[in-house]
Amino acid sequence: MDRDITPEAALQEAGATFHHYEPGADQPRAQVDKALSRRLLRPADLADEPARPYVVKGLIAQGDHVMIMGQPGSGKSALAPYLAYAVAQGRQVLGRRVRAGTVLYLAAEDCHGMRGRVRALLRRYNDAPTFYLFPTAFDLTNPEHLAEITQHVNVIRPVMIVLDTVSRAFPGLRENEAEDMGRVVKVVRDLAAICGAAIVTVHHVAKDAGTTPRGHGCLNGDLDVTMLIEGAGREARTVKLGKNRNGPSDTTFAFRIEVEALGTDGDGDPITAPVVTEVDPQSAAPRRTARLNDQDTVMLREVRDMIGEHGEQTQPGSGMPFVRAVSRQALRAHLIARGWFSEGLLQPAPNGGTGLTRAGYRPENRSLTTLKSKGFLSFTREWVWPL
């Protein structure tokens, strides 16, 4: 621009109407605001503005774009349905309060396998009537598929939409091209904007040790929350926050992937599916090899056997994650029946069975304390659970 021009003149040249307002002018503020398409806000206008409604408190708010990312096999497509299922139930997840609402899960990758995962969640955590799984594979670059999903969003009005995974939902996506990735961002934001839902996308990390999503940086730039999964195999996985616009980003979560039995097939072989259970984040650290004496070894085996046969999903203490645990009372009765306690520590119980003397509680507590210090299990006065 080779001449001086005021902002007012620039707007007028562009065809806009410029409304000038100064305190004390004859034109009332309300009249000016009505004439403008968007009202400018002053600090006093924001004094009593309410916080955005949360979906998962301190982690996910309505309208957010959240990404769960990690290497192949890290458990992305196990954690995502677990998180979504908890929101549909209004059940605390990752140690945080949840505001219950309808959830739409779009499984573009392995939709058949996702059916099994949802069945496993049903068996482990009971029903979630407001959790909806889109039943078949789809292509969001196909206008008909996008229109169908958009219609579902308009009908059920979810508080959360999960898109699993980005690459499979957009076949042929040139991830490193700004135009292609920008189109992804627009589609997911448009879906979320229909009803103000939070949208959770599942994607891979940029490289082997990467901490950002794979592809053009405009995707990472659009994210409000990033959840990076680390770990694989039978060990606990950690979930590290990168961005978190709703709270601190230095929090770490942890979970294990367990196997849930769903029945048998026509040949009589078991049908199973993976299901997530939360654990103490400390258990996700590499475990040191620990030597146990015979009594502690038997205690650990009996705890694991009881968890497998009679464990129940519970929250052992306030603010703690839900875990699969067994009650101390049930474990004690089991240990008595299995001969773990010496005869001198037993006495008749008021109900006609066998109980413990006062001294009998000491070896149980000592063994549990040893196993906890060596990273095998944890316990409270009421519950015992493996790490």
274 and 370, same domain (yes or no): no
Question: Is it the case that residue 208 has pLDDT exceeding 80?
Answer: no
Nearest to 211 by CA among 229, 231, 232, 237: 229
Residue 383: DSSP 8-state:
E
Instruction: Return mean pLDDT, the chain.
Output: 85
Residue 245 lies in a domain: yes
214 and 147, same domain (yes or no): yes
75 and 191, same domain (yes or no): yes
The amino acid at 22: E
The model's pLDDT over 355-380, given as tens digits with 9 standing for 90+, comes to 888 888 888 888 999 888 877 888 88
Where does a domain end: 279, 300, 317? 279
Q: Which of 35-39, 41-45, 118-122, 188-192 has the lowest mean pLDDT?
A: 35-39
Q: Total structural domains in the chain? A: 3
Q: Which of 181-185, 209-213, 276-280 has the lowest mean pLDDT?
A: 209-213
More confident residue, 189 or 259: 189
More confident residue, 139 or 286: 139
60 and 128, same domain (yes or no): yes
Q: Which of 69-78, 81-90, 262-271 has the lowest mean pLDDT?
A: 262-271
Helix axes 294-310, 361-373, angle to 10 degrees: 90
Which residue has tokens 């790490």?
A: 387
Residue 226 lies in a domain: yes
Residue 62 lies in a domain: yes
127 and 19, same domain (yes or no): no
Query: What's the pLDDT at 378?
Result: 86
Which residue has tokens 């109900």?
A: 351
Query: What's the pLDDT at 316?
Result: 80
Q: What is the mean pLDDT of residues 26-36?
A: 56
Q: Contacts from 150-157 at CB under 8 Å and sequence distance 24+?
A: 150/191, 150/194, 152/104, 153/104, 153/191, 153/194, 153/195, 153/197, 154/194, 154/195, 156/102, 156/104, 156/132, 157/102, 157/195, 157/197
Are the CB atoms for 326 and 303 separated by under 8 Å?
yes
13 and 145, same domain (yes or no): no
Where does a domain end: 245, 262, 279? 279
Query: What's the pLDDT at 301?
Result: 84
More confident residue, 351 or 25: 351
Query: What's the pLDDT at 34?
Result: 57
> Cα(152)–Cα(156) distance, rounded to whole angstroms?
6
State the pTM of this model.
0.68
26 and 155, same domain (yes or no): no
SS (H, E, C) 298-360: HHHHHHHHHHHHHCEEECCCCCCCCEEEEEHHHHHHHHHHCCCCCHHHEEECCCCCEEECHHH
275 and 338, same domain (yes or no): no
> Cα(179)–Cα(122) distance, rounded to whole angstroms?
40
Residue 348 lies in a domain: yes
Going by their DSSP bridges, the two strands 383-386 and 270-278 should be labelled as unpaired
259 and 218, same domain (yes or no): yes
110 and 176, same domain (yes or no): yes
> Cα(227)–Cα(382) distance, rounded to whole angstroms?
32
> Cα(296)–Cα(229) distance, rounded to whole angstroms?
32
> Cα(282)–Cα(280) distance, rounded to whole angstroms?
5
Are the CB atoms for 85 and 79 separated by under 8 Å?
no
The model's pLDDT over 134-145, given as tens digits with 9 standing for 90+, comes to 989 999 999 999
* Structural domain harbouring 310: 287-386
The amino acid at 6: T
Q: What is the mean pLDDT of residues 198-203?
A: 97
Q: What is the mean pLDDT of residues 229-239?
A: 81
Residue 27 lies in a domain: yes
Residue 350 lies in a domain: yes
Question: Is it the case that residue 10 has pLDDT exceeding 60?
Answer: no
231 and 203, same domain (yes or no): yes
Residue 2 lies in a domain: no
Question: Is it the case that residue 215 has pLDDT exceeding 90?
Answer: yes
Q: Which of 194-208, 211-225, 238-252, 296-310 has the lowest mean pLDDT?
A: 296-310
